[in-house]
Amino acid sequence: MSPLSLPSPAQAPAPHPPKSAALDCNTAVVAAAAACAFLCAVGLNSTLRCCVLQCLQRALREPVGRLSARRLRKRDVLALPTSVHPSSSGSNVGCAICLVDFGDGDGVRILPKCGHGFHAACVDKWLLSHSSCPTCRVRLDPPHIATSVV
């Protein structure tokens, strides 16, 4: 044979990978995807169990009366003491809810447990959806529940 009749290595067709190698690669990808799905499912299950257990433990720690007293009723909010801001005070203390200084004759509601003061309208709106002071987060118990829990 002459040297011209042999194909050069650059002209030789590229060999195809055997079918078993391609099958092994696909199997590895499917196995990796299945392992990721399994780990995600285990993580989600653990997270949900943890959240459910925390909620259950919180419910068991708090007495039944406190669970129903998370929000104050309108009559309890309106029963909190209100005073009129003096015109001669000269202090520039303001409401931490609306961030406006108290003006002459403004109705100021002082919270009994912590002593923080706010515009009556601002704190009334806050207390109808929260049961704590907006500044220090001290929990306010309604008067009828606080006296009956003794």
Q: What is the pLDDT of residues 22-36, one digit of tens each?
A: 668 888 899 999 999
Look at residue 8 in the predicted model and tell me its pLDDT: 57
* DSSP letter (8 states) at residue 125: H
Q: Does domain 71-148 have CATH number 3.30.40.10?
A: yes
Distances (CA, A) of 52 to 42, 47, 67: 15, 9, 17
Chain segment 59-90, per-residue pLDDT in tens: 777 655 554 456 678 888 888 888 887 766 55
